[in-house]
Amino acid sequence: MVYQANSNRYATMKYNRVGRSGLKLPAVSLGLWHNFGGVDNYENGRAMVRRAFDLGITHFDLANNYGPPGGSAEENFGRMLATDMKPYRDELIISTKAGYHMWNGPYGDWGSRKYLVSSLDQSLKRMGLDYVDIFYHHRPDPDTPLEETMAALDHIVRSGKALYAGISNYRPARAKEAIDILKGLGTPLLIHQPNYSMFDRWIEDGLQDVLEEGGVGSIVFSPLAQGLLTDKYIKGIPADSRAASKTGFLQESQVTAEKVDKIRRLNDLAADRGQTLAQMSLAWTLRGDRVTSVLIGASRVSQLDDNVGMLNRLDFSADELARIEDILKS
């Protein structure tokens, strides 16, 4: 059957302005980091993309190396665009990145102009697109001059291959340099994509101030700390979890008794708020309007519904915020 999007898809989603730009992003965006690669069930990924759009999620975030194998998430998303989402292209924000290893030799990694331009050309071919909405430099390059990397982003935007420029994983001082260089080139930095969760709050130490001063938005990844900030680990490490797989970023050694105790206490607080722990954790990242969008991952459609359900309760009382701080500091 031909896919027809939910006619009420914009009724309940919240959209936030990105920094001082004219663009808005949904409060919840979908990342294709996991579960959309060549080794994954294609129809499951397709169902998640459809459901996400039906829920008002207009932003889909990729990178050249997402898979596995690298490039396969973009290829699969390109198939979904062709079969399902092509009529809605102008309603979508599609982003991709380059900055990690993609091909052999000296030009397939990091942040040179050669690598970034070539990588985006490959990404566009894989997805069957003329342009992406946002193109990110995925991580800082310690060897390439930042001026070259930012000039490449400026060139990419001016060439029409991307509408906006972004950076990811940049620390405050480096982010400030990038903002200033791009401003001087006439292509303002739109957005920064850092990791952020209750268990990893480094962006509060200077980066958020830098972004606000520069009029730059932020979209945070790993807001659930690779699944720790859900009810999955309350009773131990499930056999089907990322920690048990020993192949992901979350290791079994990170699921300590101390952390599990915090998770249980946070889960009790979430229940008092009428939310799941995942919902409360996502809402917490958006508190104070300092984060533009929270980037979620999913392995099944039901997780999308649960995560988007956090929009029903975004407010926090002073007492609730204080209780969260007490739990995290204990």
Domain-embedded: residue 236: no
**CB within 8 Å of 256: residues ≥ 6 apart:** none
Work out how many domains the chain is built from and give that number. Answer: 1
Domain-embedded: residue 275: no
Percent of the chain with pLDDT over 90: 91
- Pick the more confident residue, 234 or 56: 56
pLDDT at 252 over 80: no
Q: Which amino acid is at 319?
A: D
Largest CA distance in the chain: 55
Domain that holds residue 292: 15-227+285-309
Judge residue 164's burial from the number of C-beta atoms within 10 Å of its C-beta, 0-12 exposed, 13-18 middle, 19 or more buried: buried
Domain-embedded: residue 327: no
Give the other-Cβ count within 10 Å of 162's Cβ: 26
Please give the pLDDT value at position 240: 56
Please give the pLDDT value at position 35: 97
Average predicted confidence (pLDDT) for the chain? 95
pLDDT at 153 over 80: yes
Give the tokens for residue 203. 């962006």
pLDDT tens-place string over residues 62-107: 999 999 999 999 999 999 999 999 999 999 999 999 999 999 999 9
Domain-embedded: residue 239: no
Domain-embedded: residue 26: yes
Domain-embedded: residue 4: no
**CB within 8 Å of 90: residues ≥ 6 apart:** none
**CB within 8 Å of 238: residues ≥ 6 apart:** 232, 244
Are 254 and 328 a contacting pair, CB within 8 Å? no
Please give the pLDDT value at position 233: 85
pLDDT tens-place string over residues 196-250: 999 999 999 999 999 999 999 999 999 999 999 999 888 766 655 555 555 556 5
Lowest mean pLDDT of 118-122, 257-261, 325-329, name the range: 257-261
pTM above 0.85, yes or no: yes
- pLDDT confidence band for 110 (50 / 70 / 90): very high
Domain CATH number, residue 124: 3.20.20.100
Domain-embedded: residue 173: yes
Domain-embedded: residue 302: yes
pLDDT tens-place string over residues 289-324: 999 999 999 999 999 999 999 999 999 999 999 999
